[in-house]
Amino acid sequence: MEASLEERILLYPELSLDDQLAIESFVAAHPEYEGVLEDVKAIGAFLEQASRFWGDVADDDVLVHYALARYMYDDAPPEHLREPLRRLEDALSRDPGRLARLERFVTRIETADRQSDALAQFEQLTGHRLTDYPKGGMPLHLDMAYFVGKIRLVLGNVSGARRAFQTVAERNGAHASEARRILAELDRSKTR
């Protein structure tokens, strides 16, 4: 595929309606490009959906998700929610009229959750005892990848450490930001 043509298809969600129609016509005549366009559309739709929660527009759908996240995590949201929540809170602080709406959602979530005891329902449905579960913490192997990276660094195995930290960063779980910071430091020391 020509570079310029591939680039145009990849930029499909960014194009004007006329240009999008031109791409559609082209792909209709060249079905070998259908897969690329389908992928690009799916990614475009995902980006549009996901970024709604990072924007300045606090419509009801965004507000109710915000209320649920705050209900679930209170002041300690997981890392992946911190920035979108902060951005949303900034937007809300400029629009106090939305607060009443938000409070309504918080009340409804709390009312729904209080309808029954989650622990009792969980134990009744699953037959498990919650006391059999250790409380909190990421799975051992996620933490292990991070600590393996640290140990390799101490032992001077930089390429091995880099692989371990990349795994941690890629999973975006516990220690992901710390792993990225170490990787950036390794990159910097490499270029020195």
Partner 1 sequence: MFVYKSPDILFFLPISTLMSIGSEWHGIRDVAAHLPFELDDTEEANRAFQRWRKSHRAKEKRIVDLWTYCFVRRYFVLKFAQEDGFRLSDLDDLIARTYRKIDTYVDTVKSPGRYAHWVSKVCKNTFLNHTRTHRYVVPLQPDGPELVAEPVSTFTSSDFGILSRELSAAIGRLPEFLQAVARMRFIEHRSYEEIGRATGKSLPVIRSYTSKIAARFRRDRHLRAFLDPTAETSPRTPPND
Binding positions for partner 1, 78-137, rule CB under 8 A: 78-84, 86, 89-90, 92-93, 99, 102-103, 105-122, 125-126, 128, 130, 132-137
**Beta carbon of residue 165, minimum distance to partner 1 (angstroms, whole number):** 12
Shortest Å distance, C-beta 49 to partner 1: 5
Q: Does 60 bind partner 1 (CB under 8 A)?
A: yes
Cβ–Cβ < 8 Å for 40, 76: no
- Which of 61, 37, 67, 35 has its CA nearest to residue 49? 61
Residue from 59, 1, 66 nearest 30 by CA: 1
- Nearer Cβ to partner 1 (48/155): 48
Q: Are 161 and 149 in contact (CB under 8 A)?
A: yes
Q: Does 170 bind partner 1 (CB under 8 A)?
A: yes
Site for partner 1 in 15-34 (CB under 8 A): none
> Is 75 near partner 1 (CB under 8 A)?
yes
Nearer to partner 1, 98 or 152 (CB): 98
Q: How far is the CB of 105 from partner 1 (least distance, A)?
A: 5
Output 85 or 153, the one with its CB closest to partner 1. Answer: 85
Residue 122: CB partners within 8 Å, gap ≥ 6? 128, 130
Q: Which of 11, 15, 16, 18 is nearest to 43 (CA)?
A: 11
Q: List the alpha helices (DSSP H) in 57-134.
A: 60-73, 79-93, 97-113, 118-126
Note every long-range contact of 166-173, with CB atoms under 8 Å and residues 24 or more positions apart, other chains counting. 168/142, 171/142, 171/145, 172/80, 173/138, 173/142
Q: How far is the CB of 147 from partner 1 (least distance, A)?
A: 16
User: Which residue, 122 or 155, is less far from partner 1 as judged by CB?
Assistant: 122
- Using the rule CB under 8 A, give the single segment among 15-23, 25-33, 58-66, 155-163 that binds partner 1: 58-66
